Amino acid sequence: MARPVTLCTGQWADLPVKVLAEKAAAWGYDGLELACWGDHFDVDRGATDLDYCKRHKEILTKNGLQVFAISHHLAGQLVCDLNNDSRSDAFAPADCAGNAEKKRAWAVETMKNSARAAKNMGLSVVNGFTGSSIWHLIYSFPPVAESTIEEGFQYFADMWNPILDVFDECGVKFALEVHPTEIAFDIVTTKRAIEAIGGRKAFGFNFDPSHLVWQMIDPVFFLNEFKDRIYHVHMKDAALQLDGYNGILSSHLNFGHAQRGWDFRSLGHGDVDFEEIIRTLNHIGYQGPLSVEWEDSGMEREFGAEEACEFVKNINFSPSNIAFDAAFDE
């Protein structure tokens, strides 16, 4: 059976969820992955208000849509981030602005509530970020001691284990989107993050190949390495644009700039080999949703969202239940 195709709503938070649900249904999606900002889903309310959860599900049901996961990326980032500049002030309530530890304390509690809200919605996965206290040390100059990196992974464990305890209590999994600026951004750091929390199963991954391919990591290697922890899948593309003049660190140029060394692309317009990803998902037995996270500064988003849905449905083939040469056994 083909996996459901959903739309991550994070890039559409300027639209009311009722409006987006109507549009997504018309574009052909099977469901929405509800982002926990805008009016798309309030986890602090959903953690205690069953009627609120019911009304949100009714919005989707009215449009023939389902929900399989919620995403609380912005709050998750604040848990381990340094929170020492104004960029993340908008991720938390206004009274937290400018106060790193107040943002962090709020983030910890709302991440716990995301597990409770997911349970009340009948869901088993919350996607998100972890943040990282050591990402800024990615280039080791001035020289960085190994003990400092170890302290960063220990800090991640200290901050996230109490959150994951609530996830375990609720029967919900947290799926980190492995991503630069997070504690895990490639295969090596992902292994280290798992080790830091003692391998607990509440912690897994929202696989997104777009964050790996521009680092020149094969996303299929990631799937095979962590096949028992793939709790959700984002479908998003990216393209390397290296021409000998620009670089992989992107030169402080924003997404969409012609001289960036890499950029996100709408599905099928970049370098990700989605056929091999689907074949690998079939091989590891992943049957959850394929959620389009649409990001492409060079394309009109409604055109892109509809085209992306069609792209995923066309490539979303199920594995064969027979050997192709079985007929020769007759």
**What pLDDT is stored for residue 11 in this prediction?**
95
In the prediction, which pLDDT does 330 show? 61
Contacts (Cβ under 8 Å, ≥6 apart) of 180: 135, 211, 215
pLDDT at 2: 82
Domains of the chain as residue ranges with CATH: 5-320 (3.20.20.150)
Q: φ, ψ for residue 234 (rounded to 5)?
A: -100, 135
Contact between 7 and 291 (Cβ < 8 Å): yes
CA distance to 33, 56, 125, 267, 299, per residue, from 311 (Å): 18, 28, 25, 7, 15
**pTM assigned to the model:** 0.96
Can you give the length of the chain in residues?
A: 330
121 closest CA partner among 43, 186, 233, 192: 43
pLDDT of residue 271: 98
The pLDDT averaged over each successive group of 10 residues in the chain (330 residues) is 91 97 98 96 98 97 98 98 95 97 98 98 98 97 97 98 98 98 98 98 98 98 98 98 95 96 97 98 97 96 98 91 64
pLDDT (0 to 100) of residue 325: 57
Would you state the pLDDT for residue 302?
98
